Amino acid sequence: MRREFKQHKSYLFDLKELRDKHGLLAGDLLAVDPELYSKFMQYISRTVKHDEVTKNMVFLTALSAYTKEPINLFLRGESSIGKSYNVREVLRLFPKNDVWFLGGLSPTALVHEKGVLVDKNGDPILPWDKPDKNASKEEKEAWRERLRDSRYIVDLQGKILVFLEAPHIQTYNMLRPILSHDVWETSYKFADRSGKGKLQTTHVVIRGWAATIFCSTEERYVQDLATRGFTITPETTEDKYQAANILTGEKAAYPWKFKEDFDFMLLQGYIGFLKNKLKEIDVVIPFGEALGRKFPSKFPRSMRDFKHILSIIKVHALFHFAQRPALIMQTENGESAYILAVRSDYEFAMELWGKIRETTETFAPGHIIKFYYEVVEEVAERSEEFHVEDLVEKWNEKFEDKRSSDIIRKWVDFLCKIGYMNKKPDPNDKRRNVLTIIKANEKNGNYTQIKFSEFFTLETFKEWLNEAKKISEENQVLLRKNLLSDEEASPEDIWQIYYCKNGDFSDILLGEKQGVVAQSVEENSEFQKSVQFPEIHKFEEIKALYWVDGEFTFHPCGICGYSKLTSWKAETFKNEQFWICEDCKERWERSRNE
C-alpha cells in the first residue's frame, strides 16, 4: 500500500527564517542567504572529496554559461585522478538540456544531434512538414526549394560543453572561432550523406558562446586554445585517494543516503531560477579600471589573464545578485538595473586565481609543477648543475609512485619549454645534458597579491559614480542597497556595507568541514510544504515546444522554475493547471511511493 506523501526537510537552509526575515518566496528566498555559495559547495562535497579548487572552477565555469563572457576551463593531469568525475558531479545541479557531454564527435554527428534545421527565414523545418506522396507537384517543388535554402543552427547560448575526450579535429576547427569568442556566428559547410546515401552539402551555423570544459587536453590543437581559459589539475594526494575510497565504500553500504533529496532540488531549482534572472540584469565592476592599472602587465598573456579574472569576479557577483548593491538608470522608457561587484567578489576571485595562476600561465599539469618544486629545486639547492639521473633518484626516493628516466626526461623538456629550466650538452659526455633552474624572479608571470585597499577607496568609488553619471547625463543614475530594495542609498552607505570589510577565502570550499548533510525524510514546517510539490491528481502529456520571435520557447516548470523539452500539464488539488517538467514529475512520483 502506498504511504502518505511526506515533505522533505532542508538541511542546508532555514527556509522559515529566510521567509520571516526577508518576506520572499522561491528562488528569491535562497538568493538572500549569505552562505548560499558555501552551501552549494557543501552539498557538492558529499560526493566530491578534496579537490576544492577543481570543483569551485567547474561550478563557476558552468555558471558563466549564463553570462555574456563564458569561461573555458582545461583540466590537465594523469589519468584516474578525477577530472571527469569532478565535472559530472558538479554539473548534476545544472539543467540537463544545458549540459552537452561530447566525445570525439565528427561535425556530422554534432550537427544531427544538436542542430535545428531552419529555412531561409529562420523558421524550423519539422519532419511532419514534408508533403506526402499524394501532394501536388507545386507542393513538392516548394518543399525542395525550402530545403535548398535551409541550414542547421547549432545554438550554444547558455550551453555547457564538456569534452570528455579531445574533439574530432574537424569539429574543433568548426567550433574554434566560437570557443575563442572571436565571432558570434560561424558559417560552415561540409559534405554529408542524405537518407538515400547521396552526397550533399550541409550548411551549418554555429551561434553563440558556450562555457567549455576540456577533460582531455593532450592533443596539440587543444593546447593551442589554452591561453583563452584557465588550466587546473585535480589533487593528487594520499588523503584524497583515501577519502575517495571511503566515499565509494559508503555508497556501497548506504546507497539510499546519496539519492537526490530536497536540498538537491532546492539547489538545482536555484540554478534554473538564476539562469532566467540573469537575462534581466548585468554586472559592472566599479574598481575594474583601478585594478587594471595595478595588475602586472609585463607579458602579452596578462591581457587575457586579466580579462579572465574579471570574468570570475562577474560570475561570483551575479551568483549573489540579491546581495549586491544596484545601480539604477532611469530613462523615459523605464529602468535599467545593474549590480555592482564588491570587495568580496574581488577577494574571492584573487584567492582562487592565486591557486590556479601557475598552471594557467604555463598550461602545466599539476604533477609537473609538483615535480619542479619538490624535486628539481631540492636537487638544485645541492648543486647548480645536475642531470636527469639525479632527478630520477630524488623522485623515487621521496614518492611511492616510481618514475622512469624516460618520464622524468619528458617532464624536464616541458619545464625547459615553459621557462623553468635550462639544458645544454654536457661537455664531458655528449650523450646527456647538464640541467640548471631559472630563478623564481626571472620567470615569466612573477606575481604578487594586490590588496583591495591599495587601489580602491571611497574617493575612487565616488569618482567612478560621477563618471558613470556624466556618461549617462540624459538618464537619472542612483544607487540602491540591493535589487530587492526601492530605497535609494548614498555612496557612503554602499561603501561602508560592501567595500570596507575584508573577506576570508583562504579555504575556498566551505563545505566539507561543516559535517555531512543528512538525507532522512521528515515532516517539515508549513512554509516548507508550500514550496514543495503540491498534491497533483493527474498528468496530461502535451507538446510544450513553440517557435516565437525566431527561437524555441518552452513553458517554465511550475516547480523547479526552468524550461525543458518534455513538459506536462498538471492539475492541482485546487483544479488549477500549470506546467511541470518530466524530471519533477518523476521525483514527485518517487516521493509519493516512498
* DSSP-based helix, strand, coil % in the chain, nearest 5: 45, 20, 35
What pLDDT sits at residue 565? Answer: 45
Smallest Cα–Cα separation from 461: which of 431, 484, 493, 507?
Answer: 493
Least confident of 6-20, 80-94, 538-552: 538-552
> Which of 91-100, 129-138, 399-408 has the least mean pLDDT?
129-138
* Cell numbers that stand for 101 in this block: 557531454
Cα separation, 559 vs 28, whole angstroms: 14
Beta strands in 482-560 (DSSP E): 488-489, 536-543, 545-548, 551-554
Is the separation of the CB atoms in 8 and 532 below 8 Å? yes
DSSP track, 310-374: HHHHHHHHHHTGGGS-EEEEEETTEEEEEEE--HHHHHHHHHHHHHHHHHHHH---HHHHHHIII
- What is the three-class DSSP state of 487? coil
Q: Which residues contact 409 (CB under 8 A, 6 or more apart)?
A: 388
Measured between alpha carbons, how far is residue 39 from residues 84, 115, 266, 449, 517 in Å?
22, 36, 11, 27, 10
d(CA 116, CA 204): 9
Q: In this predicted structure, which of 31-45, 297-311, 370-384, 415-429 has the lowest mean pLDDT?
A: 297-311
Phi, psi of 164, rounded to the nearest 5 degrees: -70, -25
pLDDT tens digits for range 541-570: 444 444 444 444 555 665 555 455 445 545
Check: CB of residue 414 under 8 Å from CB of residue 362: no
CA distances from 306 to 13, 232, 294 (A): 35, 17, 11
Sequence-separated (6 or more) residues with CB below 8 Å from residue 220:
none
What angle is formed at CA 275 by the lines to CA 274 and CA 280, rounded to 5 degrees? 85
Residue for cell digits 619538490?
374
Long-range Cβ contacts of 239-246 (<8 Å, 24+ apart) = 239/50, 240/49, 240/50, 240/51, 240/82, 243/49, 243/50, 244/49, 244/82, 246/49
Q: Is the pLDDT of residue 268 over 50?
A: yes
The whole-angstrom separation of Cα 270 and Cα 276 is 10
State the pLDDT at residue 401. Answer: 85
Q: Return all residues near 113 (Cβ < 8 A) that are at least 6 apart.
A: 105
Between 129 and 507, the higher pLDDT residue: 129
| 3-state SS string for 142-201 | HHHHHHHCCEEEEECCCCEEEECCCCCHHHHHHHHHHHCCCCCEEEEEEEEECCCCCEEE
Rounded CA gap, 147 and 410, in Å? 53
Q: What is the pLDDT of residue 312?
A: 94
Q: What percent of the chain has pLDDT over 70?
A: 75
293-302, 411-420, 496-505, 514-523: range with lowest mean pLDDT? 514-523
DSSP state of 457: -
* Higher pLDDT among residues 103 and 410, named by residue: 410
Nearest Cα to 559, choosing from 318, 268, 276?
268
Task: Read off the pLDDT of each residue in 465-490 and give the average, rounded to a whole number.
Answer: 83
Sheet holding 536-543, edge to edge: 536-543, 566-572, 577-581
| pLDDT band at residue 22 using 50, 70 and 90 as cut-offs | low
The mean pLDDT of 477-490, rounded to a whole number, is 85
Least confident interval from 92-101, 387-396, 520-529: 520-529
Share of the chain above pLDDT 90, in %: 25
Q: What is the mean pLDDT of residues 307-325?
A: 93
Strand, helix or coil for residue 223: helix
**Looking at residues 177-199, what average pLDDT do you find?**
75
CA distances from residue 436 to 163, 379, 384, 388, 439 in whole angstroms, order as listed: 37, 10, 6, 11, 9
Average pLDDT over residues 37-66: 92
Confidence label for 56 from pLDDT (cuts 50, 70 and 90): very high
Q: Is 307 a residue whose pLDDT tops 50?
A: yes
Write the pLDDT tens digit of every residue in 424-445. Answer: 998 888 788 999 998 654 444 4
Q: Which residue has the higher pLDDT, 448 or 438?
A: 438
Cell digits of residue 206: 554555429
Helix (H, G, I), strand (E, B) or coil at 215: coil
**What average pLDDT does the segment 301-328 reach?**
90
Contact 134, 314 (CB under 8 A): no
Of residues 81 and 526, the one with the higher pLDDT is: 81
Evaluate if residue 239 carries a pLDDT over 80: yes
What Rg, from alpha-carbon coordinates, does the chain have?
A: 27
Local confidence band at 250 (pLDDT 50, 70, 90 cut-offs): confident
Q: Among the ranges 170-184, 190-204, 369-383, which has the highest mean pLDDT value?
A: 369-383
Q: What mean pLDDT do residues 129-142 have?
A: 81
C-alpha cell at 103: 566525445
Please check whether residue 409 is in contact with residue 416, taking contact to mean a CB–CB distance below 8 angstroms: no
Coil/strand/helix, residue 572: strand
pLDDT of residue 19: 65
Average pLDDT over residues 532-546: 46
Residue 421 in contact with residue 362, Cβ under 8 Å? no
Cα distance between residue 52 and residue 505, in whole Å: 12
Nearest to 344 by CA among 313, 299, 389, 300: 313
Give the residue with greater pLDDT, 54 vs 535: 54
Residues 278-300, mean pLDDT to the nearest whole number = 88
Report the pLDDT value the prediction gives residue 6, as an integer from 0 to 100.
39
pLDDT band of residue 527 (cuts 50, 70, 90) is very low
Does 529 have pLDDT greater than 70? no
Tell me the pLDDT of the chain averaged across its residues: 78
